[in-house]
Every structure is written in structure tokens, then in C-alpha cells.
Structure 1
């Protein structure tokens, strides 16, 4: 294509499809119910789930620094069964913190997925040996790893702000053409802001709505400001239950995110865990579709799969 953006031109050839900008005009379509739109999507991509081998599988032990240790397995085999039953074509396995920077189980999941699954990795800029291994890992898995994740979430799970090592993490992601996936509490958004603005060539995926219920509206406003950066993508995932503290209605938040990021820069994720059924997995997707009443059917299809397929390099 002759009209690729400068960002796309600088990416290695095998990354252009996977991390290329999500583009295209908003298609006009007759409105049906959000539930119908969810079920009729031509391609569905779950952009956020975790897999766990469980404590009984000695091949894949939890790390000694694991902040939590799930007691039930949620295996890739179980995931693929639920994907088939719920109409999910592809998924991103987000490498979870219980394994820290030991990625053997993520590699296992990708192998079992046989092209249907890709993953995000987790390396730590405050651990020199961890950071040193990241470039080689990304080269080794250049067709299967789409992002490296950065936690700014609760004391003890924070990056080394202002350090050369944290800049090095962003630079490695930029050079490799993978996205930076940020999982944050809004109170840390102001400290992340300079990195998003400095690394304008790095695709940034914002996890879980930017966690609006775990900060004040003023703190979350910093996250909303990132919508002006064309390299950011907002993930509609981890929809907070309304019957738990702080009992704030999430619908206006999602409406605002949809307004700011638009149909071309939203992706969805979630609904899978050790207890997922085919019905519950599909219902989660339908719930998100129902929270986008102002979107056309075609717009919802973008959010439920089309955008992620372009972003992560899945075949339509």
C-alpha cells in the first residue's frame, strides 16, 4: 500500500499487519439489537484472558514472587473448547503475574492454540536480568507475542519511575514493533503520561477501561486525555460489577470512552476463567455490545473483533 503511515513504514515487514494502525471509516448500517450484533460479528477476538496450569501441574509452577496463586486451572485446551462454544475465533493470552517473567506456560498455550492464540509477555524494568532477556524473547516469538505488559498497580507492583531502565523497556518494545500494554490504577496515570507522549511510535493498549472505579474521576481524566494520542487503543474489559463498592455506574464511563476513542480504537476482552461456560462467555461479549447503543452494527463488529484482528495480525 502506498498510503501507509510513517509509523507503519518504520515497522519490520512481519509486524506491519500485527501492530499496524487501526484505520477505516465508520460504515453506515441498519441498527439491530446489540445482542444480535455480537452474535453476527464476522470475526470475534477476545483481547484479554489469563490461562493457568494450576497448582497441581509441576511442569509450570507459580513464581516465588507471585502476588496471587489461582487454585484452579484454566488451561488452553479448556479455553479453546469455550471459544468454540461461544463463537470466539481468536484470543490474546495475557501472561499473568503468578508466573512473573517465566513464560514457559505462555509458550505452551501458544503451541496448543495452533494459530488461534497469541500472547503478551511480562518483563520487569527494575530487574536487570529480566530486562536483558526481553529483546531475545521478542525475536524468538516475533509472530506470536503482540505486546509487553507494564503494571502500575498498587504499591509493590510499580515500575521504577524516571529510571533509564523504564525508558529502556519502552525502547525495546518500540524497536521490536510490539505494543506496550499498560495496566494501571488512575492515581498513577500522571506518572505514566510522559512515557505515552514521548514514545509516540509505540502502540499503547490501555487495559480494563483504565480502571475508572479504582480512582477518582479527576485521576481518570488523565487516562481520558490519552484519547488525543493516535497510538493509543482502549480495551473494554474487566467491567466492574455494580453491586460492589464504589457502586458507580460504569455505563457513562464506557459511553465516554466510546465517544473519545471511537469505533476504530476500541477492542474488547474478558469473560473467560476456570468456571466459564459457553453461555457465560457469549453473554459477557453481549453485555459489552449492549453498552455501545450508539454504535452501528458494523461499529460493534469492529470492537468485538475487527479492530483486534488488524491490531494483532489475525486473519479475517
Structure 2
């Protein structure tokens, strides 16, 4: 009889509410779970200070050691550390996290098209960490945190990342989507990862529909992360939105992320994944498995995928 370790068992439990144990058992040891969106912070560690232009400064540390413990307890095989804004384009703590996590962690980078010499730091970072930097993130999330739309500088950032083999990871409010679309159209060979469902609750349904229509571009990937709480403003049900996105993008172009933070435990981390799985309950077990890890493992090259 096939034996299961703790991580395999937790993987089984993550989908059992929506499929029989017998149907899932055959795939339990071959499936992979990948969290594609989490942040790590050093807190007060003086080795890794926050940037002078940090938009926020977390006090409590969320370390890679804590992350790995939560991953083990929650049955998460691999994860992507999304380099957060408090460090701006200083990636020392990201590199520390990657060194601690070894083959289980990869990371994204953050550089700024409108800051002199920022983009030129991208290639050395990637070269120091071969195969471990997977995307360059672009923020268009608030009026004071916008990229220079329609400029040669933003195109230079996009092209630099593309030439280095990175994906472009977009974090934006839907109202800013039209300013990003020309580069999605131009760089058709560059994967574009759309964070947080395209932030549907930060825009009108009409604004978010622009993002949904990006599914017509085969290089786009939608991330099921930062799932909105229906009890919070604007009090809209996210289930129909996720159904619309899964219909548009399909499981082969959707990935999940989230649930880790400074106070996370293995139980809370797994509970978040269960919530995502519940929101995907209209899909087949095979498609849920793809979104919860299979698609990301291929996209980011985890475990030789």
C-alpha cells in the first residue's frame, strides 16, 4: 500500500471536501502545491533596513525560517517571495530569503522605470541568483505610486525584464489597466502575471472587465490571491468574479497565492488555501490541482517542471 507523509496527507485534505478520497489518492503524491504570493520582512533587523522611500514599514518580522516552518506544516512545497515595496529596489533581504529557502523559494524583483540607474540593477541581481528571480513587479496602485505610462522608460524596464527571461508581474487598480495594455500587446513572448484577481473590488465592474478581456492574450496569467472579504467594502461577492476569471483564463493560466504573514501558523496557512479551493469548487479536481500548484510549478520551473 502507498504510504503518505504529513505533507501528502495535508494535500489530500485540501481537496477532500470537493472530491472523494479514492479519486484523489492516486494523484496525492504527484501533485504539487505552490504559493506564488507572499512577502517577507526583516522587521527591526538592522542588516536589512527599509528604504528611505518605503510607503509602509512593518514592525513585526515575517522571516523565511518562519515561512518554511509554515510551509512544512501546511503542505506547501514551493513558494515565491514577492519583493515588497518597503525595500524598494534594495534586494538584500530577498536574497537572504532565497539563500535560506534554497530550492523551495524563488522571488520577484522591483525596479523603477522613472528612477535613474534603477533598472540597470536588474541584470546583476538576476545573474547573482540564476534561476531564482522569476518576475519583475510593476505597481500602478495609487496616484503617487504609478509607473510612467507610455514612456520609453517603462518600455525599457519591460524589455530588460523580458531579455532576462523574467515575467512581468502587475499589481494595479483596474482603472490603470489601459495604460499597461500596449506593452502586453507588444511583448507577446513575455509572460504577464496579474496579481490579486486584477483587484476587482478597487474598481467598477466595467473597469475590471478590461482586465478580464486580457485573457485573449495568451501570455497572460491570472493570480487568485488577496481574495476580498465580502463583509468589507464594497461588499460584493467574489465568487461570480472568480467563476468569470476561471471561464476566461482556464486552469492552465491561473495560479494561487497567499495566506502567509508574520502571525501565520501551519493551520491558518492551510485554511487560506482551503478557502481558495472552496472558491474553485465549480472546477474539476484536476483543474483545482493545476491552480493550486501544477500551473505555477511549470511557469516558475519548480522541481524541474
Give the TM-score normalised by structure 1: 0.87
Partner of 1:278: 266
Partner of 2:187: 199
Partner of 1:34: 18
Report the aligned-residue RMSD.
1.7
Partners of 1:46 and 1:139 in 2: CA distance:
24
Q: Deviations over 1:25-57 (max 9, x none)?
A: xxxxxx9633877x9472100000000000x21
Partner of 1:52: 41
Partner of 2:80: 92
Q: Secondary structure at the match of 2:69?
A: helix
Partner of 2:53: 65
- Report if the CA contact (8 A) 1:48-1:269 is conserved: yes
Matched, 1:243 2:231: yes
Give the TM-score normalised by structure 2: 0.90
Q: How many residues align?
A: 285
Q: Deviations over 1:119-148 (max 9, x none)?
A: 000000001211121122222223110000
**Which of 86, 89, 95 does residue 101 from structure 1 map onto?**
89
> Unmatched 5+ residue regions in structure 1?
1-30
Q: Secondary structure at the match of 2:147?
A: coil
Partners of 1:117 and 1:66 in 2: CA distance:
24
Q: Deviations over 1:213-240 (max 9, x none)?
A: 0000111111011000000000000001
Partners of 1:113 and 1:135 in 2: CA distance:
22
Q: Secondary structure at the match of 1:91?
A: strand
**Which of 168, 178, 190 does residue 190 from structure 1 map onto?**
178
> Unmatched 5+ residue regions in structure 2?
1-14
- Report if the CA contact (8 A) 1:34-1:286 is conserved: no
Q: Secondary structure at the match of 1:114?
A: helix
Higher RCO, 1 vs 2 (CA within 8 Å, ≥6 residues apart): 1
Partners of 1:204 and 1:152 in 2: CA distance:
14
- Report if the CA contact (8 A) 1:32-1:297 is conserved: no
Deviates more, 1:41-50 or 1:202-211: 41-50
